[in-house]
Amino acid sequence: MAMSWAGGRILRGAVIFALALAVGSSPAADTSKLNILLIDIEDCNAGALGCYGNPLCKTPNLDDFCQTAVRFDRAHVQAVCCNPSRTSFLTGLRPKTTRVRSNRDVMSEHLPEGTLTLPEMLKAAGFYLADIGKLFHKIDYAERQMRVFDRIEMYDRPTGWKGPEPIIVFPPSGRKAVPDPAPPDHDSKDYAEWRRRRSDRYGDSGLKPDEERDYRMAVSAAALLKEFSKGDRRFFLAVAQSRPHTPLIAPKSFIDMYDPAQIPAPPAPPDSLVNFPYMQRARGKNPDIFTMQQPTPQQAREAIAAYYACLSFVDHNVGVILRGLEESGLADKTIVVFLGDHGFHLGDHGFWSKYSMLAATHRAPLIVRVPGAAAAGKTCDGIVEFVDLVPTLGELCGFQVPANLEGTSFAPLFSDPNRPWKTASFLVEGDSENGEIVRTRKYSYMEFEKGEMPAAMFDLEKDPWETRNIVDDPGYAAARKGMADLLHAGWKAALPPSAPARE
């Protein structure tokens, strides 16, 4: 049976105390034999999470997780939507190298020959691989990569794959599914309408929590962890959560947690924008939600409240997974990675959803617990990139990674999260403007091949919400040149002082 959201908090104190002892015992613990649990969620605005400081959004399980993990406050993805972002952080290569820049790019057809993904590296290292829900963008983009998994649940299976039956068989949900297949031509008006019909809504999902697919994925993960505890196989378990991707729907008990009247208006409204590089979008339609026109203030508040409800539901499910890990006795033997595949606009700049190079899209949550880490319970304010995930896990877990990776292991930050680190992050956008961005602590600089203007720059210290484009301001001429030079020099120019030289 499902544990209630409030009921799940009863064990919090004891669990936090036990995990604090387990994960904070030594600054230099041996991590080379650890398992890996990856919890990946979709379209998550890091600033919307309670565990990242949002005073309205309730995330008690993630709050507790942060007390035994390292929360990365300046973690940036390498692309503005799912497919290129996941391709990057699952290969350790940047979109320019993977040649996957948009959701339309078929990963298996674009990756350079010989490119390995994280599951393939782990399989070669002897890990038992299990996946529950979405990992790569689509199964037909990643047939070879998914074929190495020993167990696949609640996700499409690659052609010819044979594996065990689901660990739990769930009863049908209370809502009957209405057949609504996607039109084959993805460039057609019929497909656009099909997509809008599926995504452009928010509110009550009409299901009980235990009827929801996201909850069932969490319960399946807990059951698998119990099975893993009976043996000594080293495992990699990836568990997905589809929320808070659109549609912004959640069980009514979570929707009822938030009063839209208490939600403040989104920051950086269109009327505050000066020389803005996305002005047409700021005053027009959006992808995924509010696709026909901008919402009214009331609709905006309701949608944000629904987004928070989705996050609280995700938090509830993460609690199920983490309690399962603890009850299995595997918590002190397992690295836990919680991340979002990219960010999401919640009405700022008049934007909803993703597909921009503004911070709401490329800053995403990244929280990692490493048993024995000296930095457990601390926050890292250094710039890290999601492309760094593969080399980091490789260093921590002692498996071999390819020599051509373009990420940098941030394993040293688990000993000292305040040490000097990267000076910038890099990102691409390949759906509309075909742009690139470099972001430091002080500036954000963008260049566009298409769009309303060729370049934009924002002073993040004076204008953290990126409302005033100062790219043509004479007072910033030297800063603009410096940022443009950094963008063109590329990621190697921003490596931390302790990083090994890259050829």
pLDDT, tens digit, 9 for 90 and up, residues 205-237: 999 999 999 999 999 999 999 999 999 999 999
List pLDDT tens digits, range 337-379: 999 999 999 999 999 999 999 999 999 999 999 999 999 999 9
Q: Does residue 459 belong to any structural domain of this protein?
A: no
Q: Does residue 473 belong to any structural domain of this protein?
A: no
Task: Give the pLDDT band (50/70/90) at residue 500.
Answer: low
Up-side HSE of residue 385: CA atoms within 13 Å toward CB? 33
> For residue 489, what pLDDT is reported?
98
> For residue 433, what pLDDT is reported?
76
Q: What SS3 state is found at 130? A: strand
Q: Does residue 492 belong to any structural domain of this protein?
A: no
Q: Which domain holds residue 162?
A: 7-171+185-430
User: Which token pair is 349?
Assistant: 């700049």
User: Which token pair is 160?
Assistant: 């010819």
235 conformational bin, left if phi > 0, alpha if psi -120 to 50, beta if neither: beta
List pLDDT tens digits, range 74-131: 999 999 999 999 999 999 999 999 999 999 999 999 999 999 999 999 999 999 999 9
User: Which token pair is 449?
Assistant: 């091949």
Q: Does residue 452 belong to any structural domain of this protein?
A: no
- State what percent of residues in the chain have pLDDT above 90: 85
> For residue 387, what pLDDT is reported?
98
List pLDDT tens digits, range 388-411: 999 999 999 999 999 999 999 999
With a CB cutoff of 8 Å and minimum separation 6, the contacts of 448 are: 277, 433, 434, 435, 454, 455, 456
> For residue 180, what pLDDT is reported?
81
Q: Does residue 462 belong to any structural domain of this protein?
A: no
Q: How many CB atoms lie within 10 A of CB 261?
A: 9
Asked whether 124 and 399 are in contact (CB, 8 A), the reply is: yes
**How far lies 87's CA from each of 132, 344, 387, in Å?**
18, 18, 9
List pLDDT tens digits, range 247-262: 999 999 999 999 999 9
Report d(CA 434, CA 319) in Å as an integer.
39
Q: Does residue 493 belong to any structural domain of this protein?
A: no
Residue 57: strand pairing partners: none
Query: CATH code at 210?
Result: 3.40.720.10
Q: What is the CA radius of gyration of the chain?
A: 22
Q: What is the pTM of this model?
A: 0.93
Phi/psi of residue 427, each to 5°? -150, 150
> Regarding predicted confidence, which is higher, 22 or 384?
384
Report d(CA 465, CA 179) in Å as an integer.
42
Domain total of the chain = 1
Mean pLDDT over the full length of the chain? 92
User: Which token pair is 143?
Assistant: 């047939």
Which letter does DSSP use for residue 463 in this model?
Answer: -
Q: Does residue 268 belong to any structural domain of this protein?
A: yes
Q: Is the pLDDT of residue 437 over 90?
A: yes
With a CB cutoff of 8 Å and minimum separation 6, the contacts of 454 are: 447, 448
> For residue 187, what pLDDT is reported?
80
Task: Give the pLDDT band (50/70/90) at residue 4.
Answer: very low
Q: Does residue 177 belong to any structural domain of this protein?
A: no
